[in-house]
Amino acid sequence: MKKFLPRAATALALLFVTPAALAQQAPAPAPAQVKDADPALWVVKDEDTTIYLFGTIHVLPAGLSWFDEAVKTAFDASGELVTEIGDMPDPAAVQPLIMKYGVAATGPALADRLPADKREAFAKAVAEAGIPPEAFARLKPWFAANQLSLVALMKAGYNPASGAESALTAAAKAANKPISGVETIEQQFGFFDSLSEAAQIQFLTETLTQLGNVGPEFQKMVDEWSAGDAEGLAAIMNEAMRSSPELSKMLLADRNTRWAEWIDTRLDKPGVVLMAVGAGHLSGPDSVQVMLEKRKIKSARIEY
């Protein structure tokens, strides 16, 4: 179980538009230098429909040149952009959802819900994040874990505004391409909130033990994403999810099954689509491509 969080918290950036990030959007810093990146891209097609599958990372460092070559070609050829939640909601619209799904109005304070031997680490993590302790007192464990992980990533130089979705969405708006989502932000909040108390506490406590490693571990994932190493990302996801079947089912298998169904249905409508979702969904034994295979739908990796 000790290996669950070194990568599970950072793996969320391969799977979800981080809920905490939606309330903390900030301009991306100007990069000191640009580094080439060639993330993986797949295609699903029939006689009159083409759907490109692009695996994103929702929080990236500035200075990665990934929106070019095959990815840019796929974007230019597409008549619409489909992401996890479509156009990013205004932070003001997210706040009521945080109150509904991320805050516990009654019951013990969050620190009191943690094992006694984790409370000191929790207090230290909150202090190091620069957030008043009272702001965390009523948070649900899953949301506190997200908040602390995001702060750690931002301190390590990562910014939600540099994420792949932000760039793709801005480009789609500039090109007047329709933008839609396969989920809503409220659904995503609900997925986390549906986790059992035990799973949420595990998520938070193991986040606390590994916050100092978030930056280096996430950089490994960014490097593999940049190199188009889908197998490397799959290995990370398998390790990260091994000790929490409940989290794995919620984050990966169930959602990927629904998205494969969405793709199957979308193939009935002519056109070209760029579907950009967290890279973790396009790798591993429960990937979208595996779910498509179960429906007798083939996908092909685009080499570039």
- Angle between helix 141-155 and 197-210 (nearest 10): 20
Greater confidence (220 vs 265) lies with 265
Confidence band (pLDDT; 50, 70, 90) for 187? very high
Tell me what the mean pLDDT of segment 79-84 comes to: 98
pLDDT of residue 206: 84
The answer to whether 292 touches 267, Cβ cutoff 8 Å, is: no
| Helix, strand, or coil (residue 23) | coil
Confidence band (pLDDT; 50, 70, 90) for 242? low
pLDDT of residue 1: 33
Lowest mean pLDDT segment, chosen from 66-80, 84-98, 284-298? 84-98
pLDDT of residue 218: 87
Is 90 exceeded by the pLDDT of residue 236?
no
The Cα–Cα gap between 126 and 133 comes to: 6
Confidence band (pLDDT; 50, 70, 90) for 3? very low
Strands (E), the chain: 35-36, 41-45, 49-56, 60-61, 64-65, 80-83, 158-159, 179-181, 271-278, 300-301
Give residue-wise pLDDT tens across range 188-219: 999 999 999 999 999 899 889 888 888 888 89
Is 90 exceeded by the pLDDT of residue 23?
no
Sign of the torsion formed by the C-alpha atoms of 284, 287, 293 and 297: negative
Tell me what the mean pLDDT of segment 172-193 comes to: 95
Greater confidence (9 vs 289) lies with 289
Is 80 exceeded by the pLDDT of residue 283?
yes
pLDDT of residue 118: 96
Whole-number mean pLDDT of the chain?
88
pLDDT of residue 109: 96
Is 70 exceeded by the pLDDT of residue 290?
yes
Is 60 exceeded by the pLDDT of residue 122?
yes
Which positions ≥6 away from 290 have C-beta within 8 Å? 256, 284
The Cα–Cα gap between 231 and 60 comes to: 20
Is 70 exceeded by the pLDDT of residue 156?
yes
With 0-12 / 13-18 / 19 or more C-beta atoms within 10 angstroms meaning exposed / middle / buried, residue 230 is: buried
pLDDT of residue 82: 98
The Cα–Cα gap between 40 and 279 comes to: 8
> Looking up tokens 């290995």, which residue turns up?
235
Share of the chain above pLDDT 90, in %: 62
What does DSSP assign to residue 177? Answer: -
Which positions ≥6 away from 296 have C-beta within 8 Å? none
The answer to whether 291 touches 260, Cβ cutoff 8 Å, is: yes
Tell me what the mean pLDDT of segment 257-266 comes to: 99
User: Which tokens belong to 131?
Assistant: 């957030």
Confidence band (pLDDT; 50, 70, 90) for 143? very high
pLDDT of residue 265: 98
Greater confidence (130 vs 11) lies with 130
Tell me what the mean pLDDT of segment 53-77 comes to: 94
pLDDT of residue 17: 58
